[in-house]
Amino acid sequence: MNTAQKGARAERRTIAVLEAAGYTCVRSAASKGLFDVVAWNGVHWRVIQVKAGKENLSGIEREQIQLHAMPGNATKECWRWPSMGLTAVPLIEVL
C-alpha cells in the first residue's frame, strides 16, 4: 500500500468515526490543501488534517493551520492514525 492509499484509508476512517458521532463530512480527496476532512453537526464545524502512520505535521503545516482564520464555532484539528488495525484509535490534536 503506497502513501496516498494509506492517507485515503485514514481519511475514510476519520469520516466513519465522525459520522458515527453525528457529523456530516466532506473529504477533500487529493487536494493537497490544509484540510482533508470538513465535518459539521449543525452547530459545530471541524476542519481536520489527517495523518497516517508515524507522520506528524510539519512546522510549515502547523503554522499555516494555526494562522488560518476560523469562526468561533469551528476547531482546527490534526488526527493521526499511528496504526490502522481494527482496534486503532486516532491521536487527536486541537490546534
Asked whether 36 and 18 are in contact (CB, 8 A), the reply is: no
Output the DSSP codes for 46-65.
Answer: EEEEEEETT----HHHHHHH
What does the pLDDT look like over 64-78, one tens digit per residue?
Answer: 988 989 999 999 999
Q: What is the pTM of this model?
A: 0.84
Please list, in sequence order, all residues whose beta carbon lies within 8 angstroms of the beta carbon of residue 55, skipping any fewer than 6 positions away: 80
- Higher-pLDDT residue of 54 and 61 is 61
Predicted local distance difference test score (pLDDT) of residue 26: 94
- List pLDDT tens digits, range 21-30: 999 999 987 6
